[in-house]
Amino acid sequence: MIRIGVLVGAKGRGSNLMAILNAITAGTVSGQVTVVIGSLKGAPALDAASSAGVETVVVGTANRTDDEYGAVLLRAITKRDVDLIVLAGYMRRLPDALTTAFAGRIINIHPSLLPAFGGHGMYGRKVHEAVREAGVTESGCTVHVVDNEYDHGPVVAQRRVDVLADDSVDDIAARVLGAEHSLLVDVLADICSGKRSLPLV
Ligand code: GRF
């Protein structure tokens, strides 16, 4: 059974995390979320994990260098024998210690069709605002392998959604979020069933 560690953002809603947990409960994903790690106590995603009975750990970034933060994070993950790390709403660049130790075993879900609308500073609503501004007729989401650059590693899978002429930014965000949940679950189902093997690259 694949053991999954999920890293969430300080302000993340945790909807992708919940999509994973629901898929595991439903039997679509035959893995196990063994730990959810965030940087801020009381973050909605951490609370959602606790309510679902999953162990949560807070690894703060304050007063720590990137290397120190990376070492603590890596220890928290290796202690729980994690096979795969999923970034779900995690906003920071992952410390090198993690991307090295878990090469090909870390995936991120990003709310655009990378490489479009990705990179440092391109997150959350900003992505959908940029999509609206650009006047494109489709957007979507990407699951990619994480390396040490923002939104940069090899693409694992993408799902497209239409952007309609009269869509608001919120409309685009909602449509993309629905696609994120299904794409992430599909990728995890494939990894957990062995259809895609680890490391991914
Ligand atoms: C998602 O849009 C994801 O693509 C991005 O951060 C957001 C997290 O949302 N990386 P949630 O916390 O999973 O609801």
Domains of the chain: which residue ranges?
Answer: 3-193
| CA of residue 119 to ligand 1 center, whole Å | 15
pLDDT confidence of residue 10: 86
Residues pairing with 8 in the sheet: 88
Helix axes 44-51, 15-26, angle to 10 degrees: 20
Nearest protein Cα to ligand 1, atom 14: 15
The answer to whether the CB of 140 falls within 8 A of the CB of 158 is yes
Confidence class for position 127, pLDDT limits 50, 70, 90: very high
Beta-carbon contacts of 63 under 8 Å, excluding residues fewer than 6 positions away, are: none
pLDDT over threshold 90, residue 39: yes
Helix or strand run (H / E) with residue 25: helix 15-26
Q: Which pTM value belongs to this model?
A: 0.96
pLDDT at 64 over 90: yes
Cβ neighbours of 88 (radius 10 Å): 24
Task: Please give the positions annotated as active site.
Answer: 110
Residues with CB under 6 A from ligand 1: 12-17, 45, 88-89, 109-111, 177, 180
Task: pLDDT band for 11, please (50, 70, 90 cuts).
Answer: confident
- Residue 62 Cα to ligand 1 middle (Å): 22
pLDDT of residue 12: 82
3-class secondary-structure state, position 156: strand
Mutate-to-test residue for ligand 1 from 6, 15, 131, highest number of ligand atoms within 8 A of CB: 15
Tell me if the bond preceding 115 is cis, omega within 30° of 0. Answer: yes
Instruction: Give the model's pLDDT for residue 27.
Output: 97
Q: Which atom of ligand 1 is nearest to the CA of 45?
A: 12
Are 58 and 41 in contact, with CB atoms under 8 Å apart? Answer: yes
Distance (Å) from CA 101 to ligand 1 centroid: 24
Three-state DSSP at 38 gives strand
Distance CA 90, CA 16 (A): 11
Pick the CATH number of 3-193 from 3.40.50.2300, 3.40.640.10, 3.40.50.170, 3.50.50.60: 3.40.50.170
Atom 10 in ligand 1: which residue has the minimum CA distance?
A: 89
Average pLDDT, integer, range 141-164? 96
Q: What is the rounded average pLDDT of the residues 43-68?
A: 95
Nearest-CA neighbor of 177 among 49, 51, 88?
A: 88
